[in-house]
């Protein structure tokens, strides 16, 4: 899979690429696919909401869309990923997402930070210096205690599978959650909620 640079805002976003491991003979688990999706350029330039079909999103797979000229993660979280979230609390800077990095409390949903616990949607930008963190799902791949999540290659900020920042990271805040809602079970609309609110919403730090 190829990496993709998104430079429309005069920043370079580093998009991770992942190795696809064959199912036969693989012990424990295999790295998921990472794909990118490009909506129409006129849509992204206007900053209007986008719609993404996740019907083919496999468990453990991450896709990258674009909204407001920013990369957007859409991750199909597996149960083992969800199981790590409550265990991360002692290591997190803001485990309850008290900072305004999401439109309102409805987007927090406890440890999940999502409207559906299995599908996670976030703005793929580190809150330190706005690089794009890598998807690093494999436990202990970043350090000895690493539970899996997102790791920024620029200055080492670490986030769990809900993009909550770990203590010791230079990033000050959790990664933003954009306004979104589910039009159907497989179609997510990113950039507003169902009643049209929050189209002009911005987080404390992108």
Per-residue pLDDT at 157: 98
User: How high is the pLDDT of residue 29?
Assistant: 34
Instruction: Give the chain's mean pLDDT.
Output: 83
**Tens digits of residue pLDDT in 17-61:** 332 222 223 223 334 445 544 545 554 445 689 999 999 999 999
Q: Is the dihedral angle over the CA atoms 125, 38, 67, 78 positive or is it negative?
A: negative
- pTM as predicted: 0.79
Of 70, 68, 77, 89, which Cα lies nearest the Cα of 15? 70
Q: Span 134-163, mean pLDDT?
A: 98
8 Å CB contact between 146 and 152 = no
The three-class DSSP label of residue 151 is strand
pLDDT band at residue 6, thresholds of 50, 70 and 90? very low
What is residue 17's predicted lDDT score, i.e. its pLDDT? 31
| Whole-angstrom distance, CA of residue 144 vs CA of residue 146 | 6
Q: Using alpha carbons, select from 34, 69, 66 the residue that is nearest to residue 51.
A: 66
Q: What domains lie within the chain, and their CATH numbers? A: 34-190 (2.102.10.10)
Query: For residue 20, with 0-12 CB atoms within 10 Å meaning exposed, 13-18 middle and 19 or more buried, which class applies?
Result: exposed
pLDDT at residue 143, as a whole number: 97
Which has more confidence, 7 or 47? 47
Q: Please tell me the predicted confidence (pLDDT) of residue 197.
A: 80
Q: Which of 39-53, 85-99, 130-144 has the lowest mean pLDDT?
A: 39-53
Predicted local distance difference test score (pLDDT) of residue 105: 84
Give me the pLDDT at residue 196, please: 78
């Amino acid at each position: 899979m190829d990496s993709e640079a998104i430079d429309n805002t005069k920043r370079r976003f580093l998009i991770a690429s992942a190795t696809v491991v064959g199912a036969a003979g693989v012990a424990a688990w295999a790295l998921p696919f990472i794909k990118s999706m490009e909506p129409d350029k006129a849509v992204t330039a206007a900053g209007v909401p986008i719609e993404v079909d996740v019907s083919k999103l496999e468990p453990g797979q991450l896709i990258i869309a674009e909204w407001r000229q920013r990369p957007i993660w859409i991750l199909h979280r597996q149960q083992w990923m969800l199981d790590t979230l409550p265990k991360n609390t002692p290591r997190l800077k803001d485990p309850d997402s008290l900072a305004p990095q999401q439109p309102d409390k409805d987007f927090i949903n406890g440890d999940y930070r999502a409207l559906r616990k299995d599908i996670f949607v976030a703005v793929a930008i580190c809150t330190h210096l706005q690089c794009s963190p890598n998807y690093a799902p494999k436990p202990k791949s970043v350090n000895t205690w690493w539970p899996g999540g997102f790791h920024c290659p620029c200055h080492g900020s670490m986030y769990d599978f809900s993009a909550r920042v770990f203590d010791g990271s230079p990033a000050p805040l959790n990664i933003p959650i954009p306004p979104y809602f589910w039009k159907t079970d497989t179609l997510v609309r990113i950039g507003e909620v169902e009643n049209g609110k929050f189209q002009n919403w911005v987080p404390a730090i992108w």
